[in-house]
């Protein structure tokens, strides 16, 4: 049962702690000035959080800070109530997982062997995976909908299949927090829908999902909360219905948008 349903079942009184909490995040780069200016957000268990904004708005920098790869100039990040800086590298790898846009892999793995890499944080140095690890890999492949690709070479995968494999590797890692960098940015509409549907299902299983995107339609399809990032600040934050409005999107992207909410879900388009 996810966080929203747990709260509803107890009359909304359930105290659910954030998985990730960022407060007052500021970051700057030489020659560029301030990139992030006082950003704050929380990621709750059983929810999908989307950070949406145009290219170059600071989305990946924020993700790097949440992963502990970059220290903010000011502000704090807490993971499960502890300062992120107090987590060791292996401990952090068991608690959070990144799904990148793409990885340059130099070896010809099978899909199953590549997903098995997600078990690395749980293995001793030079330790071999056991039956439990292999079972978790197959469960991750089934959850991602690519069990039939287990013995395929990763070099033969389509863009959508490759992205689902990256998600499966993170699932094998068994982290409670899943961070994704533009997970559907280079996919066709059918594969984009497969990925966003999977993110929604993972949140419904209790995971906390945070992903960046420049595509309002992707955010509308999966997210519980959307933060619109513009000029280093969250210009708008809230539910997709409250945040993904024509006026808000135009203010962030600089072009007119059309937003229609139907029984089948939202449809977002822009007039370029």
- Of 253, 225, 260, 250, nearest to 240 by C-alpha is 225
Kindly compute the dihedral angle of the four CA atoms of residues 247, 251, 256, 261, in this order, to the nearest 10 degrees.
Answer: -40
Cβ neighbours, 10 Å, residue 82: 12
Q: What string of pLDDT tens digits covers the 272 residues of the chain?
A: 455 444 444 445 457 899 999 999 999 998 888 999 999 999 999 999 999 999 889 999 999 999 999 999 999 999 999 999 999 988 999 999 999 877 777 788 999 999 999 999 888 776 788 899 999 999 999 999 999 999 999 999 998 898 899 999 999 999 999 999 988 877 788 888 888 889 999 999 999 999 999 888 888 888 999 999 999 999 999 999 999 999 999 999 999 999 988 877 778 888 75
Tokens 């490759």 — which residue? 162
pTM greater than 0.75: yes
> Which tokens sit at 15?
């105290």
- The DSSP symbol for 121 reads G
* 4 neighbors 223 (Cβ within 8 angstroms): no
Cβ neighbours, 10 Å, residue 183: 27
Please tell me the distance from the alpha carbon of residue 185 to that of residue 154, in angstroms, as a whole number.
20
């Amino acid at each position: 049962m996810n966080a929203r349903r747990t709260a509803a079942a107890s009359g909304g009184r359930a105290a659910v702690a954030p998985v990730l909490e960022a407060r007052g995040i500021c970051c700057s780069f030489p020659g560029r000035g301030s990139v992030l200016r006082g950003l704050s957000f929380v990621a709750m268990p059983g929810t999908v959080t989307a950070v949406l904004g145009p290219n170059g708005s600071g989305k990946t920098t924020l993700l790097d800070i949440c992963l502990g790869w970059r220290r903010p100039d000011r502000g704090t990040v807490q993971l499960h109530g502890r300062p992120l800086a107090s987590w060791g590298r292996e401990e952090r790898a068991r608690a959070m997982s990144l799904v990148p846009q793409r990885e340059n892999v130099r070896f010809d793995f099978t899909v199953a062997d590549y997903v098995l890499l997600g078990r690395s944080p749980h293995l001793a140095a030079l330790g071999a995976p056991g039956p439990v690890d292999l079972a978790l890999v197959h469960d991750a492949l089934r959850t991602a909908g690519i069990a039939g690709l287990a013995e395929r070479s990763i070099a033969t995968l389509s863009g959508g299949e490759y992205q689902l494999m990256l998600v499966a590797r993170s699932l094998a890692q068994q982290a409670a927090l899943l961070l994704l960098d533009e997970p559907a940015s280079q996919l066709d509409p059918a594969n984009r829908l497969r990925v966003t549907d999977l993110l929604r299902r993972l949140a419904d299983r209790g995971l906390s999902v945070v992903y960046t995107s420049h595509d309002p339609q992707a955010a509308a399809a999966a997210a519980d909360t959307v933060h619109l990032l513009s000029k280093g600040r969250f210009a708008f934050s809230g539910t997709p219905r409250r945040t993904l409005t024509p006026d808000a999107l135009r203010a962030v992207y600089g072009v007119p948008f059309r937003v229609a909410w139907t029984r089948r879900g939202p449809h977002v388009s822009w007039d370029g």
